[in-house]
Structure 1
């Protein structure tokens, strides 16, 4: 097949799982003999824009006519069988959906988060899960400044959500939801269930696999409240007060809580804070872990680090909500703790290392789950089947 992939890359100082998924999927499709053309914009380019162009960026979030025209020309030149849309914020906009409709090309869109019903895509506000905008208008998001804590910064996203909802839902031929949890929330919000298919992200075969019992417990990811970093610190302090677990905690990543985490780690001999690490370094850290810790406070749409740990034969301790309940078989491939409960998380961290034999069995089971559902073969099958279904679907005649 000939496929055009549409994506707006995140800023490089904030490494994105979505960018990685796009790179891995395009490489996988190309290696399987498909012809892939990338239509991309990069958020890094905003920094080099003139002041007038920078000022205009928020105005183009709901609708960017230039992006529509440029994609239309690409579609005319390439004549693809299908278009695969990922992120369109902030430099592409939903106008790319209209370009596909204009060209009569079926389109699929991967929903990496909850942005179809929540302006920041997290369903999380003020330290709690928030569904105030689900099934209604995004006015609460503006009132609370859900994007970057600013009503002004949130307004373009809210406007885009309000005016483009029907365009997305009618113009896209098929949506890929990266978990059943994500799909259920979107169906409850009114999205057309018949267009929503679950297609898990795949993970490449890791460069390192665990050999032994593991040297540390590992948190790897963004250092933000919604990722459960503060919850992890509270749970670790509980364990430390009770004698610890015999292994250090390693924290790798960056984010708004950098300084807080670094200061906390300096006071504890059993914690190592490494900051941002390369992908290869993260893979090595994962393969040396007794368990991966994913204590997210918000409802994760997927959880790439959990699957990457499984690929390396490492079990996970994860929050028992969102997609994690699909990715971690409690007591078999890892442990699920009560969301937001430091005591429950501490108990699971102690249990996951208490028996090396049981830990190894969980790691082996996690590896088996990876091979069954998340390896590149499964990823290619999901993509190709979704594309074929979209191509076989009669075109919608609703205006977009």
Structure 2
């Protein structure tokens, strides 16, 4: 196939799992013999813009006519078999969906978060899961300033959600949801179920596997409240007060709570905060873990760290909500704890280092081999493209161009 991938890259100052997924899929398609081209814009470029251009960026979030024009021209020249949309915020906008309709090209879009029903895409506010905007207008998001704590910054995203809802839902031939949990939320919000398919992200084989039962427990990710860092700290204090586990807790990553974690870990033998690490170091830390801990407070749409642990033959301890309930087979490939419950998490941490840890790790690796390898990812990606192309042809997709003018 000839595929054009459209993606607005996130700022490089913060590691982006979405950027990594896009890069891996592009490489996977090319290795599989498909012709892949990229249409990219970079949020990093905003910093170098003139003040007038910077001021115009929020105004173009709901609709960017230049982005539509540029992509339409490219599509008419290159004529790909399918366009694969990822992130369009803030420099593309949903106008790229109209560009695909103009050029009469089938469209697939991966939904990496909940932005279709929640302006910031998180379903999380004030330390709790929030669904106030799901199934209705996103006025609560503006009122609470859900994006960057600002009503002004949130407003363009809310406007875009309202004015472009029909365009997204009717103009995209196939949506890839990255978990069944995410799909269920979107269907409940009114998105067309027949266009929503589950396609889990894949993970390359790390090339290193755990031997034995591991030498530490590992938290790997953004050091933020929504990732459950405070719940983990409280749970670990409960474990320590009960005599500990004989293994240290290692936390790797950075984020708003990094200073709090550093102070909490200082002077302790049972906790190590190692900050942001390279990909190679993260693979080594994962492969040497008794378990990876993912105590997220928000509803993870996927949970890449859990699947990366599977690939290394390491079980996970994760919150029993969001995508984790389908990624972790409780008692078989890991353990699930009650979300935001330190006592429940502490009990799971005690259990995961007891008898059965090695068996869980082996089962986790088998689960990875069956459902999350690159070969499985390529098969599902190409099958999704084929389904989108067929749906586009059968629905008279060429006629949709007129409705977007």
| TM-score of the two chains, using structure 2 as the length reference | 0.97
Could you say which residue in structure 2 is the equivalent of 1:183? 183
Q: Which residue of 1 aligns with 2:278?
A: 278
Partner of 2:70: 70
**Which residues of 2 match residues 122-161 of structure 1 at below 5 A?**
122-161=122-161
Superposed, 1:236-385 pairs within 5 Å as 236-355=236-355, 358-385=356-383
Cα distance in 2 between the residues matched to 1:207 and 1:91: 37
* Structure 1 position 50, deviation (Å): 1.3
Deviations 1:327-346 (A, max 9, x none): 00000000000111000000
**Structure 2 CA distance for aligned equivalents of residues 367 and 27 of structure 1:** 23
Shift of 1:19: 0.6
Aligned-residue offset at 1:242: 1.0
* 1:312-370 deviation digits (Å, cap 9, x = unpaired): 00000000011000000000000000111000000001110022xx1110000000000
Aligned mates of 2:220, 2:182 — CA distance in 1 = 22
C-alpha distance after superposition, 1:234-258 (max 9, x if no partner): 1011111111111111111111111
In the TM superposition, what is the alpha-carbon distance from 1:82 to its structure 2 partner? 0.1
- Correspondence 1:193-204 to 2 at 5 A: 193-204=193-204
- After superposition, the C-alpha distances for 1:149-198 in whole angstroms (9 at most, x for unaligned) are 11111111111111111110010000000000000000000000000000
Q: Secondary structure at the match of 1:72?
A: helix
For residue 280 of structure 1, report the CA deviation from its aligned partner. Answer: 1.3
Q: Tell whether 2:144 aligns with 1:113.
A: no
Cα deviation digits, residues 293-324 of structure 1 (max 9, x gap): 00000111000000000000000000001100
Partner SS state of residue 97, structure 1: helix
Superposition CA RMSD, Å: 0.9
Instruction: Report deviation, 1:383.
Output: 0.4
- 2: distance between equivalents of 1:74 and 1:279? 35
SS at match of 2:353: helix
Aligned length: 398
Following TM superposition, by how much is the alpha carbon of 1:268 offset from its aligned partner in structure 2, in angstroms? Answer: 2.2
Shift of 1:12: 0.9
Normalised to the residue count of structure 1, the TM-score between the two structures is: 0.98
Which residue is 1:79 aligned to? Answer: 79
Shift in Å at residue 77 of structure 1? 2.1
CA distance in 1 between partners of 2:186 and 2:267 (Å): 43
User: Counterparts of 1:363 and 1:354 in 2: how far apart (Å)?
Assistant: 12
* Distance of 2:218 and 2:195 partners within structure 1: 37
Distance in 1 between residues matched to 2:72 and 2:318, nearest whole Å: 43
Query: How far apart, CA to CA, are the structure 1 residues paired with 2:210 and 2:50?
Result: 49
Residue 391 of structure 1 is aligned with which of 371, 374, 389?
Answer: 389
Q: What is the deviation of 1:269?
A: 2.0
Separation in 2, partners of 1:156, 1:366? 42
CA distance in 1, matches of 2:268, 2:159: 46
* Mapping 1:20-59, distance limit 5 Å: 20-59=20-59
For structure 2, the residue ranges without an aligned partner over 5 or more in a row are none
What CA distance in whole angstroms lies between the structure 2 residues aligned with 1:143 and 1:166? 24
Classify the secondary structure of the residue corresponding to 1:354: coil
3-state SS of paired residue (2:272) = strand
